[in-house]
């Protein structure tokens, strides 16, 4: 049986917690809200799930998958539904829309990408709509590794817009580790501020969790000062329990962000999946005090849906995450819909889509 004791600080593995007494920060089952009682006795048995298991060497310590909590799918579905019913007033809506714009990773990841298309993407990231004053830039542009140099030249070194590059045999993740490491190091060397890697879903689904952990840890080391976003491709993981396990593995292996999807399969980001990932981030923060970012990607093309995500982030992990340092949207078409909503708030009229650049 694995030793699931926290390395620091020490916690008991299992505690019975009275409804009237919470000794410090307690660990709730995913989908369960504080104060909910799942038993008739009035005592809620709550397992304190640890960070990593103890191994012979601290350098080879890995996350023990049996320490990930089961997901309450009914509770997750109920909470996800409630986030979409919040009423947002006009003043708060404009502020929220501007936050969304500043959290977007403006993305082009197509086989037909060209240097000119990447340059245009970079221009749009810095100048979302010249006719609307006071707009922020996007958080980043996201491109394939061969275009990192082009993006760096277009943005320069003083731009607030970061350069993100996909790597590690994106989008399948089916590649040799030495190639993935080389691709990561080359992208960082060319000027990437952030690396979006994909996990080896085949290894994960085969139960080789240590391989997935070690691969993420090595890619993180190869990133140097660049931040690492770990893409789980949740649509291929099958269950919310697997989403939670993969999130925990990525976080403990060193991810700066966890990300839902590549955007290359039909099943992309959803509110329930993102909620499960946010709960993993919340629990890690409760235990360590360390923040990890979140990036839902794919399937988010409407401003209204993006605002629902911001509500979920604030109510699940807190307002500290409502900056582009800790929350991003991976999107290519979301920016234009948000701009249309901002223009509507400015003059009361919707502008036609052709008034907004596609790239």
Distance CA 229, CA 181 (A): 15
Please tell me the least confidently modeled range out of 9-23, 89-103, 187-201: 9-23
The three-point CA angle 96-100-105 to 5° equals: 170
Give the gyration radius of the chain's Cα atoms: 21
Residue 16 lies in a domain: no
Name the pLDDT band for 266 (thresholds 50, 70, 90). Answer: confident
pLDDT tens string 300-349: 999 999 999 999 999 999 999 999 999 999 987 899 999 999 988 887 77
Residue 246 lies in a domain: yes
Whether the pLDDT of residue 19 is over 90: the answer is no
Whether the pLDDT of residue 275 is over 90: the answer is yes
Residue 326 lies in a domain: yes
Domain housing 237: 90-355
For residue 106, the SS3 value is strand
Q: Which helix (H) or strand (E) is 308 found in, with range?
A: helix 303-316
pLDDT tens string 95-114: 999 999 999 999 999 999 99
As to burial, measured by CB atoms within 10 angstroms (0-12 exposed, 13-18 middle, 19+ buried), residue 98 is middle
b/e code 2-29 from CB counts within 10 Å (16+ = b): eebebeeeebeeebebeeeeeeeeebbb
Name the pLDDT band for 133 (thresholds 50, 70, 90). Answer: confident
For residue 143, the SS3 value is strand
The average pLDDT across 110-129 equals 95
Q: Which helix (H) or strand (E) is 337 found in, with range?
A: helix 334-347
* CATH number of the domain within which 126 lies: 3.20.20.70
Q: How many domains does the chain have?
A: 1
Please tell me the least confidently modeled range out of 6-20, 127-141, 323-337: 6-20
Dihedral class, residue 31 (left if φ above 0, else alpha if ψ from -120 to 50, else beta): left
Residue 8 lies in a domain: no
Per DSSP, what are the bridge partners of residue 45?
Answer: 16
Residue 167 lies in a domain: yes
Residue 218 lies in a domain: yes
Residue 18 lies in a domain: no
Name the phi and psi angles at 165, rounded to 5. Answer: -130, 130
Distances (CA, A) of 316 to 33, 43, 165, 190, 325: 10, 24, 28, 37, 17
For residue 135, the SS3 value is coil
Closest by CA to 305, choosing from 20, 32, 47, 84, is 84
**What is the DSSP code string of 238-254?**
-SHHHHHHHHHHHHHHT
Distance CA 270, CA 299 (A): 8
Per DSSP, what are the bridge partners of residue 295?
Answer: 259
Residue 95 lies in a domain: yes
Please tell me the least confidently modeled range out of 29-38, 90-99, 135-144, 194-203: 29-38
Q: Are 27 and 46 in contact (CB under 8 A)?
A: yes
Query: What are the residue numbers of the active site?
Result: 196, 259, 295
Distances (CA, A) of 293 to 3, 158, 317, 329: 28, 23, 10, 11
Query: Scanning the structure block, which residue is given the tokens 């009229």?
Result: 349
Look at residue 359 in the predicted model and tell me its pLDDT.
60
């Amino acid at each position: 049986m694995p030793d699931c004791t926290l390395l620091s600080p020490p916690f008991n593995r299992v505690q019975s917690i009275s409804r009237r007494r919470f000794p410090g920060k307690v660990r709730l089952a995913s989908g369960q809200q504080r104060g909910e009682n799942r038993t008739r006795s009035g005592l809620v048995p709550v397992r304190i799930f640890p960070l990593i298991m103890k191994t012979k060497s601290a350098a080879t310590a890995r996350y023990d998958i049996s320490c990930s909590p089961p997901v309450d799918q009914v509770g997750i579905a109920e909470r996800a539904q409630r986030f979409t019913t919040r009423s947002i007033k006009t003043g708060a809506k404009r502020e929220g829309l501007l936050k969304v714009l500043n959290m977007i990773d403006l993305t082009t990841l197509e086989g037909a990408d060209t240097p000119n298309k990447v340059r245009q993407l970079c221009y749009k990231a810095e100048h979302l709509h010249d006719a609307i004053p006071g707009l922020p830039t996007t958080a980043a542009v996201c491109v394939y590794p061969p275009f990192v140099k082009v993006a760096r030249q277009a943005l320069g070194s003083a731009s607030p817009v970061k350069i993100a590059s996909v790597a590690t045999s994106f989008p399948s993740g089916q590649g040799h580790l030495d190639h993935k490491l080389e691709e990561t190091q080359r992208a960082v060397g060319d000027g990437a501020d952030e690396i979006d890697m994909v996990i080896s879903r085949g290894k994960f689904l085969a139960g080789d969790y240590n391989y997935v952990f070690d691969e993420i840890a090595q890619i993180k080391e190869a990133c140097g000062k660049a931040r690492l976003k770990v893409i789980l491709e949740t649509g291929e993981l099958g269950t919310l329990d697997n989403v939670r396990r993969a999130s925990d593995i990525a976080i403990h292996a060193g991810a700066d962000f966890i990300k839902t999807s590549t955007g290359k399969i039909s099943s992309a980001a959803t509110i329930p999946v993102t909620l499960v990932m946010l709960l993993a981030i919340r629990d890690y923060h409760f235990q360590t005090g360390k923040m990890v970012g979140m990036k839902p990607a794919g399937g988010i093309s409407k401003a209204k849906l993006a605002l629902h995500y911001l509500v979920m982030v604030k109510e699940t992990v807190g307002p500290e995450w409502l900056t582009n340092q800790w929350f991003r949207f991976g999107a290519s078409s979301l920016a234009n819909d948000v701009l249309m909503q901002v223009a509507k708030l400015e003059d009361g009229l919707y502008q036609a889509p052709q008034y907004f650049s596609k790239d």
